[in-house]
Amino acid sequence: MTFEPRIVGFLCNWCSYAGADLAGVSRISYPTNIRIIRLMCSGRVEPVIVLETLAQGADGVLVMGCHIGDCHYISGNLYAERKINVLKKLLARTSLEVGRLRLEWVSASEGGRFAELVKDFVEQIKALGPSPLAGDKPDKNILAGVLAAKAAAEDFRLRLLVGREKTMIDDGNVYGEKVSEEELDKILNEVIDTEFVRNRIYLLVKEKPLSVKELSERLDLDSKTVLRHVVVMRRRGLITVDRVEGTSPLYTALEVGR
């Protein structure tokens, strides 16, 4: 059987959903693979939902909004752009292909463009093959990465940073100092790295107690880095020592709110 990808589309009501309607009204055909979820604004696209959708085995996620400047809610699509940017960075740290997520702008008069983009995305996904997370036996390792990414996307620090990015660039921080895109990108990368690794550690030790050495093997990271994270996580009350085996402490997860 040929591979028919399952693609979930999150479309804004005002431009992209209207563009998808227009493709139909103009009888422009495109592959049947996409299932569209209508939202009022692309800015409503919640990163956690996107990651959960991928974790649940979607072969691809296509987010569409109004062209920059056309947002019905003034600036929602700018926020969508920032979020997808972060999502891609998170995905890049997992073993799931970043190409399974795509953001595009489609206006209400671009029925043809909508159809083209769907066609193109379906091709892109076909080239990638079925999601390793689809079906009954998802790849455990990859799933662990995506779940860690999801946990990072739920995390306060990362969300706070993403939520403030635009204001920091436009209006500056509390001291009125404006931050450049490049500086911000650097900060963002650091926070994402940290959050992603910590969440992976957390999820791993939640399954069963592990030592720093074991963690560093599983995460393919040097033990020094792992130890640094473990220390912070301990201090924050996220993990604790379960028992000591030989000379190595084994860590385990503490139940935290939400």
Q: What is the dihedral of CA 204, 206, 211, 212, to 10 degrees?
A: 50
Q: Residue 146 in 3-state DSSP?
A: helix
Residue type present at position 70: D
Is the dihedral angle over the CA atoms 164, 170, 175, 181 positive or is it negative?
A: positive
CA distance linking residue 125 with residue 120, whole number of Å: 9
Quick one: which of 120, 138, 114 has its CA closest to 58? 138
Tokens 């804004």 sit on residue = 12
- For other proteins, the closer of residues 68 and 244 by Cβ is 68
CA distance linking residue 187 with residue 192, whole number of Å: 9
Q: Which residues contact 99 (CB under 8 A, 6 or more apart)?
A: 124, 125, 128
Query: CB of residue 66 vs other proteins: minimum separation in angstroms?
Result: 7
Query: CB of residue 38 vs other proteins: minimum separation in angstroms?
Result: 7
- For other proteins, the closer of residues 14 and 251 by Cβ is 14
- For other proteins, the closer of residues 10 and 202 by Cβ is 10
Query: CB of residue 130 vs other proteins: minimum separation in angstroms?
Result: 12
Query: CB of residue 220 vs other proteins: minimum separation in angstroms?
Result: 30
- The site for other proteins (CB under 8 A) is made up of 6, 8, 10, 13-15, 17-18, 20-30, 32, 35-41, 43-49, 52-53, 56-58, 66-67, 69-70, 72-76, 79, 83, 107-113, 115, 154, 156-157, 159-160, 162-164, 166-167
Query: CB of residue 90 vs other proteins: minimum separation in angstroms?
Result: 15
CA distance linking residue 114 with residue 118, whole number of Å: 6
Query: CB of residue 32 vs other proteins: minimum separation in angstroms?
Result: 4
Quick one: which of 8, 30, 7, 6 has its CA closest to 110? 30
- For other proteins, the closer of residues 43 and 145 by Cβ is 43
What are the structure tokens assigned to 115, written together? 């159809």
